[in-house]
Every structure is written in C-alpha cells, then in structure tokens.
Amino acid sequence: MVPPHTNEIETLVLGAMLIDPEAINKAVSVIDKTAFYKPAHQTIFAAMVNLYNEHEPIDVPTVFNELSRLKVIDSVGGLTYLSELGNNISSAANIEYHLKILVEKKILRDLINVSHRIAQRAYMAEDTALKILDEAENSIFQISETRSKKTYIDMKRAVTQTIEYIEVVHNKTAAGVVGVPTGFYDLDDFLGGFQNSDLIILAARPSMGKTALALAFARNAAVMHKLPVAIFSLEMATTQLVTRLICSEAKIPGQNLRKGRMTAEEHSRIAQYGGKLAEAPIYIDDVPGQTVLEIRAKSRRLKSEYGIKMIVIDYLQLMQGHADTESREREISTISRSLKGLAKDLDIPIIALSQLNRESEKRTDKRPMLSDLRESGSIEQDADVVMFIHRPEYYGKEVDSEGNSMKGLAEVIIAKHRNGPTGEVKLTFLHEYTKFENRQHFNRFAGEVPQF
C-alpha cells in the first residue's frame, strides 16, 4: 500500500512558495522537507529553504539555479517541472489550509513508521514488554507534540502574553494564586500555588505527616476547586487513603472508625463528608512498586482522559527505576529526573513525597536540611520546590525561645524555591485527626469543629 500523501497539495504548496514571499514564511515556520512524500518535492523544498536562509529571492529562475548548483535539477524534472509548479497556481491564499493537510498526511506516515518499528521490536523481543511499550508511547507522544515545527515566539507576542499573565496574576482571587491552590493561605502567599511543569518535593522524617499534607493538597484542589488530581499511592491502599481523607475532613479520630466505635453524630459526619469526596475528581492508583515508566504511561492516559491538573506520588523511594541501574543512588537520580520531565511534558505540577535520612535527628533542633534528602542529591537539583515538614512538639519541644506554646505547630520549610523566596510557613497539625490547618484558622476556631 502507498503511504498517505496528496501529490496535488504538495504541488500547490511549492507553487505558492514560488509566487508569494509570505507563503514562504508560513511554510518554513510550520513544516520541513519530510512533510512532502515525493522525493523530488523534498529536494525542491530544501533548495527553497537554502535560498530563504541566504535571504535570496525565491522564484523559478533562482530555484532552478540552486538545484543546478546542487546537481539535482534533472532528478526533480528540470526547468519544465519548476515552471509547471509556478504556473499551476494563481493565488497563495489557501496556503495555511494546504499546510495543515501536509502536516496531517505526515503524521499518518509517522504513525505507520512507528507502528512498523514497534512491531519489529516486539517480534524480536530483545527488551522487556514494558520498555517497548514505553518507547511506543514516547514515539506517539513526540509525534503529537511536534505537529508544528514552529518553536519560536517573537518579542511582540511574548510581551503581550506576559502582560496578559501579569493581569491574570493581579486579578486572580485566593490571594493571588495563579497555580493549583494549596489550600493554606500563607503557603499560597509564598508559592502562588503549585505551578505548572514544577516538580515539588515534600520531604520529612517518618510520622511528620507527609501523606496527610499531600492528601490535604489533593483534597483542596479536587473538592474546593474541582481540579482533577491523580494520586499514585505506592505504600497505602486506596481504602486507607480514603479513610484518612474522610476522618480528616469529618474530624473523627481514625481509631474510632477502625474499631467501629463511632457515635451517631460521627456517622452523620462521615456520610456528609464522604458524599463530598465521592464527587471529587480524584483518581487513585495504589499498585505498589511501580516503575517510573508505568507511572509516566498512566499519567499520560489520565491527562488525556480526565484532564488531570496535578499528580501526587507517595512516595519517591518506593518507585522502581531501570533494573540494570548500577546503584540505588543512580536509580533515584533517574527517577527524579524522569518526574521532572513528566511534569514538563504534561504541563502540570507533580508533588513527590520523599524520605529524609537520619542526619536531622542528630542535630539539636532536629530541623531538616537539603542535605538530608535520602539517597540522592539529584532530587534537590531536579526539584523546583523542596518543602520539609518539621513538628517541634514531636521531639518534645513545648515552647519556643520566647515562651510561646508550640502545641500543634507544624513548620513547612521551603528550603528550595527555584522561582521565588525560601523561608517557612506555620501550620497547625491536629494529631488526633491527622489533619493540617491554617494556623490562624486554628486559633480562631480553637475547641470547635468548624463548619465547611
């Protein structure tokens, strides 16, 4: 079978380029020679691009001279064929429509080529099925992403877009949040929300509340702002996660639910908040030990099918890299780099939870530092934002240096912020419910169950 192409459209595009300089600009910014199926047309287009790059005029005589210089004029049909290209079109008015058709046919040919290559690799079976599947998805994704060759933007348009962005920031509600809101006022003031294409690392020692805070981020985005969120839980089962969410929202001690010791009022609150969560666009995958390839493939499908706006991964060290990686540190480096690449590809924030080593607990104040990130310094390098959770009360510290109570205090330390300041935000941790709240909110409603 002959691959998809249209000879007529190819000749119309080349003809338009011969008679209209503006058609040349449009064509060169959208396609390359592979958009043409016929080899002669590829050669003619390449000659035109040579002239274009040298700022030479493009018409039948100049293209003829260039093809003659390259000693390929006879292979494309000579002066007669070039003249026919120019004479067979009276206007370049439809050049953009014709270019779209060429791009469409090229995509179909690329899909056929990728399919053949993947089929051959599958028959040979020299790699694992997962690696071949990942290559197939990458190839398809690249075809989709490179539909247009245009990668630049002129300054006029860049300035216009930037001013529009600034206006959005200025007019945005919720304390100027332009990314995915965190749900915590001071944190949103600091970060402006979680930004698209950012890799956010949320790290802490065990029992600090990493999962609880990450679930709070997901809950706020999905329940309060109706933004679809994907959660990859490599440690906890879906039922455990949802139990945590419900207990946190309804302010019911988790042990009461697990032991079946709930009051009628608590039953009512579970029904109320469970109903809210049931309507939230949250998609949970609790398969343990997933590879970065599996998570990447699933994330792309979730983005395509449900339009997810944020991903949470709990947690990074439970992911698997390539089996042939020489060390665990190198494996973690590959994983963190891949997650950053995925955030950019999908243009959404990814929050990856991470463990810390024991070094912080050897220090007097127990406060974590970037050097405490477990198994790899590349996590810090790849991340756009690194946040730590520190709860002084956990280590028996009840008051600060000024005698203020530290009961329930949770410090979110922004240790790295690629596009903004570093510092810390104070939240309140309600241990009984495994729940984080705004610090001011806690003070305002101390002793009460706030109504949402």
389 and 351 Cβ atoms separated by less than 8 Å: no
Q: Nearest CA to 389 among 196, 216, 197, 193? A: 216
Burial of 330 (0-12, 13-18, 19+ CB in 10 A): middle
What is d(CA 384, CA 34) in angstroms, rounded to the nearest whole number? 37
- Residue 7 vs residues 47, 91, 223, 290, 349: alpha-carbon distances, Å: 19, 18, 53, 47, 44
What is d(CA 343, CA 247) in angstroms, rounded to the nearest whole number? 31
Chain centre to alpha carbon of residue 282 = 17
Q: Is the dihedral angle over the CA atoms 219, 192, 435, 313 positive or is it negative?
A: positive
Q: Which of 56, 104, 137, 235 is catalytic?
A: 235
Indicate if 235 belongs to the active site. Answer: yes
Instruction: Return the structure tokens found at 24.
Output: 């040349």
- Phi, psi angles (nearest 5°) of residue 145: -75, -20
Look at strands 409-417 and 350-355 and give their pairing: unpaired
Residue numbers annotated as active site? 235
